[in-house]
Amino acid sequence: MASEMTDSKAGEEAAGRRPGKRERLTAAAMQLVHQHGVERTTLADIANAADVPVGNVYYYFKTKDDVIAAVIEAHAQQIKTTLAFIDTHHRSPKTRLKAFVREFTAQGEIVAQYGCPLGSLCSELDKRVREPGLPVAELMRLPIEWAEGQFRSLGRPDAPDLAFDLLAAYEGSALLANTMRDPDVLSRAANRIDHWIDTL
């Protein structure tokens, strides 16, 4: 789903509109958090990557948790946009599910280098000692609920289980691709998942 962010950014540049400071800070935070993790990413790092004076960051985000909340919100919006695009451009539940898999596995090189941006963020925030109070579970709930709807359209009474299995198959493959530094792990997984969808 990283491609949605890239496409959006390219569209803004093509239209001659530079994103606002808050948008640039959020986009920079998304990239840096994915590459370095929450704890190793500082507000100064984000400001420098966004080409925004460090002092200006506090006008938009009072704390680092405010930045992370914006990152989660931006990821959630990207997921919603991607799923809406799939719904619009694919007519059957099976082709939608396959498009969903391809969207998730399209960034194999990036995932192999840094891990899944959603899964790694969820995992890192879960390990925080204090209660983060951040709606990170939404990043998993959105695609699971969407996939469950597709499986229900196929008449599957076990739609909730199948939706969890689908996302688990991707997240597990993403973890292995990152651990092995091998993007082919994801492409092979996508082929297996496509075959599994065909058998339903």
The two three-digit tokens of residue 114, written as one number: 């840094």
Smallest Cα–Cα separation from 183: which of 110, 89, 92? Answer: 110
Confidence of residue 17 (pLDDT cuts 50, 70, 90): confident
The model's pLDDT over 146-158, given as tens digits with 9 standing for 90+, comes to 999 999 999 999 9
pLDDT digits (tens, 9 = 90+) for 70-88: 999 999 999 999 999 999 9
Q: Is the pTM of this model over 0.85?
A: yes
φ/ψ (deg, to 5) at 135:
-80, 50
86 closest CA partner among 30, 142, 159: 142
Non-local CB neighbours of 145 within 8 Å, separated by 6+ positions = 163
pLDDT band at residue 118 under the 50/70/90 scheme: very high
Domain ranges of the chain: 2-199
Whether 14 shows a pLDDT value over 50: the answer reads no
- Residue, of 81 and 6, whose pLDDT is higher: 81
Q: How many CB atoms lie within 10 A of CB 9?
A: 14
pLDDT at 132 over 70: no
pLDDT given for residue 4 in this prediction? 43
Residue 11 has pLDDT above 80, yes or no: no
What CATH number has the domain spanning 2-199?
A: 1.10.357.10
Residue 5: is its pLDDT beyond 80?
A: no
What Cα–Cα distance (Å) separates residue 152 from each residue in 81, 159, 161, 162, 190?
21, 5, 11, 10, 21
